[in-house]
Amino acid sequence: MFHLIPTEAFLATPATPKLAHRLGAEALGTFWLVFGGAGSAVLAAKFVGDDMISVGIGHLGVSLAFGLTVLTMAYAVGHVSGGHFNPAVTIGLAAAKRFEWKDVLPYILTQVVAGTAGAGVLWLIASGAPDFEACGFASNGYDALSPGGFSLIAVLIAEVVLTAFFLYIILGATDRRAPVGFAPIAIGFSLALIHLISIPVSNTSVNPARSTATAIFAGGDYVGQLWLFWLAPIVGAAIAGITYSIVTGVNREALDVSGEAEVDAK
């Protein structure tokens, strides 16, 4: 019988498993996010069959793939690690007092290593194609490396705003006052929507681990532009984490890491 997962499963509380187990869950989730999301772009977005007819999944398919990776892994291991799979999410949750700052660095290191491993396995598979070229490799960029040629400023604004809203959705969906068990659905579909909006702008990051993983294999200027895809998502996530309590009327000073607090009725 299927049971909806409690909202508490997606929050790092004192009752959560040991750090080593949480890091293992984060590794699985981040690997799957990069392998599944970037894999859909590299392997399936523009696939052409033997009859020279395009059967690729395109922009819509890639967007859904990224959303589905998060949705599926949030249900699979969210109850173990909190289901972050993203350094910006980890920092945003810590800024919102939903996660312990002492665990931020281990989470981020795990996410980057696991994401890079996912990109590495994807590269091994993709390089088996006769016409494979690593150029781009679903990486993020601005100016000439933006799919639509968008400027640095445009990409910066897009990534800050979209990551902030991603965190607002995560914080709201995992709030103890939210409907129970539906957080992964809201979060997964929000990530799909973010990709629908911003693939033409930056190829969609909102996740420094995902950006780092693919840039390593794309090489060249993609690595040189990585700074933006760390800075912008972290800034957006921090803004959301700090301001969520203001927007929702939660007394932030009364929050503990479990997310428990009284709502300001004034």
pLDDT score at 130: 81
pLDDT score at 15: 60
- pLDDT, greater one: 135 or 52: 135
Kindly tell me if the per-residue pLDDT of 136 is higher than 60: yes
Q: How many Å apart are CA 156 and CA 229, to the nearest integer? A: 8
pLDDT score at 131: 77
Domain boundaries, the chain: 19-128+138-248
Looking at every residue in the chain, the average pLDDT score rounds to 88
Kindly tell me if the per-residue pLDDT of 49 is higher than 80: no
Q: Please write down the HEC assignment for all residues of 121-144.
A: HHHHHHCCCCCCCCCCCCCCCCHH
pLDDT score at 129: 83
Topology annotation, domain 19-128+138-248: Glycerol uptake facilitator protein (1.20.1080)
- One-letter identity of residue 253: E
Q: Is 170 exposed, middle or buried (0-12, 13-18, 19+ CB in 10 A)?
A: buried
Q: How confident is the model at residue 6 (pLDDT cuts 50, 70, 90)?
A: very low
